[in-house]
Amino acid sequence: MITLELTDAEIDDIAEAMDDPSISDRNKTKLLVIRMHHEGAANKFIAACLNLGVNTPLNYIKEYLDGGLSSVLEDRYYKPSSCLEPYWQCLRCSFEAAPVANAKEAMARIESLTGVRLSESQVRRCMKRLGMVLRKAAPMPGKVDPQMQFDFYRTEMLPRLSEAATGKRKVFFMDAAHFVLGSFLGMIWCFSRVFVKTSPGRQRYNVLGAVDSHSKKLVTIRTTDNINADTVCRLLGMLRSQNPGIPVTLVLDNVRYQHCRAVADRAEALDVELLFLPAYSPNLNLIERLWKLVKKKCLANKFYPNFLQFREAIDSCLDHINKFGRKELHSLLTLNFQLFPIHNS
């Protein structure tokens, strides 16, 4: 029977190695086996505690007896390297400059750059190793000015949102949604394609809403009539009456009727600041996300045979938006805004 007795110096060396973050977990397990054996634990007991093979502790102890600590810590395991190893940086730059839609495109790209032909499954593993993820592309307005958006966000929105966070101001994001009676098709888990009936007609249910930046409370005006300057003035009055004695900022887009004299005069009379977003900046309007949530909750893949039921579904969703799915709502309406890359010409 092999027994191992460690000196105080060897125990200190093993303890130091076990605290070293560069040592692999496998080698630290070896050191733990050796230390437990020195303390009198039976090899069978060590194997059971550490979930090792019956003979594994004995092999580790022999390895230490033959070559000492350096032999135990020596990494002798074969690590195969990819034939693409010399080309990783080149491939990364290529895929960053021009992403691919599928594995077949990536396969052709890799072969043209490196001369190495891989299978589709190998290509997918390579792209994952590079850190790539299959994502749906997002739209970006063609006329957007990223620099203007960034400057607006930093100098106009952030200071007001900071005041709102401390209770010194109320910030609301306003927008109108126009729900058209019809089919709102979305992704669905199913065994075969699901067909959703399409409601007849083109009737619209218009909602002008404003959502609080921090409490996420929603204030709305709902109508079958068109949204116009009078509707905006009514909403301004509602916001002021619900938030007396505190500065109110309303973040809104550049629809023509919101720039008219009647809206400006009403806002001035109520002491409500109108903060107009830069052109083509729906990504900076928080309420746009809420409209998507409403469509997801009550309209996606749903059929309503008439306009009355269509309206009732939307009303019910809006009435309970702050009650159901509160965690989902606050997660969706975080104050993290998508800003587009700024390309200096």
Q: According to the model, what pLDDT value does residue 85 have?
A: 85
- 10: CB partners within 8 A, 6+ apart: 69
- For residue 21, what are the domain limits? 8-73
Phi/psi of residue 99, each to 5°? Answer: -60, 160
Phi/psi of residue 70, each to 5°? Answer: -65, -35
User: Could you tell me if 93 and 29 lie in one domain?
Assistant: no
pLDDT in tens, 51-108: 999 889 898 888 888 888 888 887 766 666 778 888 999 999 999 999 999 999 999 9
Q: How far apart are CA 131 and CA 249, in angstroms?
A: 41
**Count of the separate structural domains present in the chain:** 3
Q: How far apart are CA 283 and CA 245, in angstroms?
A: 30
User: Could you tell me if 183 and 38 lie in one domain?
Assistant: no
Q: How far apart are CA 183 and CA 303, in angstroms?
A: 7
In a domain, 78, yes or no: no
User: Could you tell me if 57 and 202 lie in one domain?
Assistant: no
How buried is 236 (Cβ within 10 angstroms: 0-12 exposed, 13-18 middle, 19+ buried)? buried
Low-confidence ranges of the chain (pLDDT < 70): 1, 76-80, 201, 324-326, 344-345
> Do residues 229 and 263 make contact, with C-beta atoms less than 8 angstroms apart?
yes
User: Could you tell me if 68 and 89 lie in one domain?
Assistant: no
Structure tokens at 290: 């809420």
Q: According to the model, what pLDDT value does residue 96 have?
A: 92
> Do residues 43 and 37 make contact, with C-beta atoms less than 8 angstroms apart?
yes
Q: Give this prediction's pTM.
A: 0.68
> Do residues 264 and 232 make contact, with C-beta atoms less than 8 angstroms apart?
no
Q: According to the model, what pLDDT value does residue 78 have?
A: 61
Q: According to the model, what pLDDT value does residue 90 have?
A: 93
In a domain, 3, yes or no: no
User: Could you tell me if 18 and 91 lie in one domain?
Assistant: no
Q: According to the model, what pLDDT value does residue 147 have?
A: 93
User: Could you tell me if 156 and 279 lie in one domain?
Assistant: yes
Q: How far apart are CA 345 and CA 343, in angstroms?
A: 6
User: Could you tell me if 100 and 162 lie in one domain?
Assistant: no
In a domain, 341, yes or no: no
User: Could you tell me if 287 and 190 lie in one domain?
Assistant: yes
